[in-house]
A and B are shown apart, each in its own frame.
Chain A
Amino acid sequence: MNIQQFQEALFTKGREIGYVDMEIYYVNGRSTSVKVLKGEIDQYTIVENGGLSFRGVINGKMGYASTEKLEPDVIEFLLEEARSNADILESEEQDELFEGSESYPEQPAYAGELADTAPEILIEAALEMERTALAADPRIVMARHCSVSTRENEVLIVNTKGLHCHRRKSLATAYVYVIATEHDETVTGGWHDYSLRSVEDINIADVAQKAVTEAVSKLGAHTIQSDNYPVIFRHDAAAQLMAAYTTVFSAESVDKGFSRLAGKLGQKVANTKLTLVDDPLMEHVPAGSTFDAEGSATRRNEIIKDGELLTYFHNRKTARKAGVQSTSNASKGGYNGKIGVSYHNLYVAPGSSTLEDMIRKMDRGLMIVELQGLHAGTNTASGNFSLACLGYWIEQGKVVRAVNQITVSGNFFDVLQQIEEVGNDLRFTGNCTSPSLKLASLSISGS
């Protein structure tokens, strides 16, 4: 059964049993991934997969159910489960289906031929990446993970109010993670890059070289004494930290009492050097999008401008409750989740300092390049964090040596206020991005 036949049969049966309005959210994708190890293919993975989420209004309430099987025998499961789920919901704020925006922006994000890349091209790229990494430095003993993959996916939202949104995206990625050893010490480092158009656009040799530099520069690491130090979060660590706390900007978290930013609209929640933007309409980024999970046309939103909190992320329900316009940030945590709130392509607007300048101006301090255990060591309710990390010790404007076996602790809301400098090294690699950030002081635990 194809998706159109399934949707028509579902809506017809739904109407018969009393559904007033109905919607499907359908995701489908295919991907090919090659992983190599020691000059041989280690793993080869082929995927063709999809899923569908149904929601519908019955007896005045909205119910949800989902399936990965698109055959006639699951239609009854979807309609019955959604009805019994609707029955028990107590929340007074009802979701409602959307008839669609007046117009939608255009965004070239799909290269039809990308997913049809010949397997030999993926294999050769992965082998070359491994060879380059192993040859780059005698201390590299293994490329623990070395993979190249392509994927494409589509999202389709159709409802009985006339909404019809469809989007296709494609992406190629190369990722390598190497192990370096010297004098019984073992360190690891990784790098990745992507292209929306073709595998051949990715500079494989550069990815390999960067992973090697990351790893070997960590050799010779040891801890430092526990104290408060000035800290630079390099762009990648800064993005990790920001991403761990993004739910505090969600109107849903604010409304439910989970976010400390409740009641702070219009206030200075960060240093004036900080501007935070969600821009799904940017071209050539992996997290671009022209409509959100409710079918609202997306737009560029400034969340924080010069330190001032301008808005939360809203979907249609949270916006209605707050008496504002949706910011088109409706999300779905996988096709099988309910409608929530999230960002698309969130980034800290770049400043003017280069990372080298930030280091040069630091008398004694730490540059953090990797944070670990973020799922457990960050508390979004309090903003507190205490995280294992890796970095480099800086003295008199120069990187002196690598540092390990330390933790960094502080509070995210204080960090926003304490940002002294914002770097110019923004590099879009995921859906939350930051340039390097310099802070006056953070607590480091070591020996």
Chain B
Amino acid sequence: MNAPERPPVMNEPLHGVLRGLLAIAMLALGLILAWSFWAQVSAPTSLTDTVMAELPRSGVANPVTAVLLNFRAFDTMLELAVLLLVAVTMGVLREHSPAPATYQTAPLPLSDSPLLHSLVRDLTPLIILIGGYLLWIGAKEPGGAFQAGAVLASAPVLAHLAGRPWPTDQKSSWFRGLLVLGTGAFLISALAMQALTGGYFIYPPAWAGIWILGIETAATLSIAVTLYVAFRAVMPVSTVPT
């Protein structure tokens, strides 16, 4: 436990008996939890009614978006900060250890297939269109920044896999600007609201829809870039042009 130089290796498989005991203990724990869950006498309740009652004042028609971007916008802002944190961490880890040796010996095969390249070229506008649609529809139907960002991120990923990565550089300021855009838009508008309406995150009701769309657009871009950073962090270095 307190080996001075090397932390202990914990990869050895557990003994069969121990595994069985562990399974029984876990099962018992699960049963106790399930019992306490069902033994609750009061009728199950939820906040759905409250959300639906306040929905008209939220600026959007989709209850999920209303919760994420208005009622509990503070949570969502901190969750975007988590994404930023992940991007920063991956940048640091990546610079510390350029790439594991196993990756360097097996770079992605660069494809010269014109078919693949034209496919990626033709798909990219479509991806951007779908991403934009998901972002827009989020105000009324299921959709929104996280879905749109995930779709959008597929464009650079496809280009990367086809051997034509987008010229991105994590050290360039516009790239870092995109990373902080989502959290930044949230934070700046929360503080701006404090100056305008006198309350942190209190949108003026008439403008709530526009504010939310603006924040979601910024968040979409940040999410897409963060996902792409995550993808690149585990990709071989050799396919990235210098």
A, B bound: no
Residues of B within 8 A of A (CB): none
Residues of A within 8 A of B (CB): none
